[in-house]
């Protein structure tokens, strides 16, 4: 899904990761990864201002973003993501 910056109105494309095993971090800090291909605002104050996308991406083994088939129903964000 798309990302937003802290103010939720500016698109964010930063991508961070941290290794976890058995519920414990294996690293002392997050690692900066390849930027996400599409960032978007999370404007949830009013449904008429929501930005929705149907784009789907997956990172391959070479750390490149691969385009996957579009979502059947575009969405602005997923709460559990």
The percent of residues above 90 in pLDDT, for the chain, comes to 25
Residue corresponding to tokens 């494309």:
13
pLDDT, tens digit, for every residue of 53-63?
788 888 899 98
* Nearest one of 41, 44, 55 to 11, comparing CA atoms: 41
Nearest to 5 by CA among 40, 53, 48: 40
- 51 burial type by CB count under 10 A (0-12 exposed, 13-18 middle, 19+ buried): middle
Mapping DSSP to helix (H, G, I), strand (E, B) and coil, where does residue 27 land? coil
The model carries a pTM of 0.57
């Amino acid at each position: 899904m798309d990302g937003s910056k802290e103010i939720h109105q500016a698109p964010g494309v930063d991508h961070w990761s941290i290794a976890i095993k058995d519920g414990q971090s294996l690293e002392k800090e997050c690692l900066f990864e390849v930027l996400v291909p599409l960032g978007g605002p999370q404007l949830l104050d009013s449904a008429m201002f929501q930005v929705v996308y149907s784009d789907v991406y997956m990172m391959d083994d070479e750390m490149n973003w691969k385009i996957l088939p579009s979502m059947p129903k575009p969405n602005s964000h997923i709460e559990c993501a």
